[in-house]
Amino acid sequence: MQEIYYSKIKSIGNPIDPKALPPAFPDGKGGFTPNPNHVGLGEANGSGFGWTDVAVYKFGLMYEGIKNWTLMAGFSIGDNPVKSSEVLFNILAPAVITTHITFGATYKLNKHNEITVGFMYAPENSVTGANRFEAPNQQTIKIAMHQWQIELGYGFN
């Protein structure tokens, strides 16, 4: 098991604060009034992505019983760091995937060289929540993500 402490990184762990985020508000006369509660992004008390700490469970197998071949497989499952109250800002980083499935193989060409191919699939996961900058119950946001990845590598020494 691996624990990831997003809350320790303020720009990722702090929740979005609609009252503190804008540097100014419209004054109704075509101008702006400075926001006395403004705290910039990335500051210690500034708004962030609102990610929660997560636990990830990982399992993997490696088999080297075939001449020149190493076969690998893995699986991980974890918590989703994005709460429904934080979907608006997380449009920028929709890290809501909770499961990864991997396969790979390495072939030793000779004593000093090898070729590796790997495949990863992450099934879709989503989070739905309200836009905290809108009037209540006016806009619902859904963020979703899935991923496919293929890697090819060449190793030498």
Angle at 143 between CA 136 and CA 87, to 5 degrees: 45
Is residue 104 a contact partner of residue 116, using CB atoms and an 8 Å limit?
yes
DSSP 84: G
pLDDT of residue 140: 93
Q: Which residues pair with 56 in a beta bridge?
A: 2, 78
pLDDT of residue 135: 77
Is residue 78 a contact partner of residue 37, using CB atoms and an 8 Å limit?
no
Is the entire prediction scored with pTM above 0.85? no
- What is the mean pLDDT of each successive set of 10 residues along the chain, which is 157 residues long? 94 89 88 90 87 97 96 97 93 93 98 98 96 83 96 97
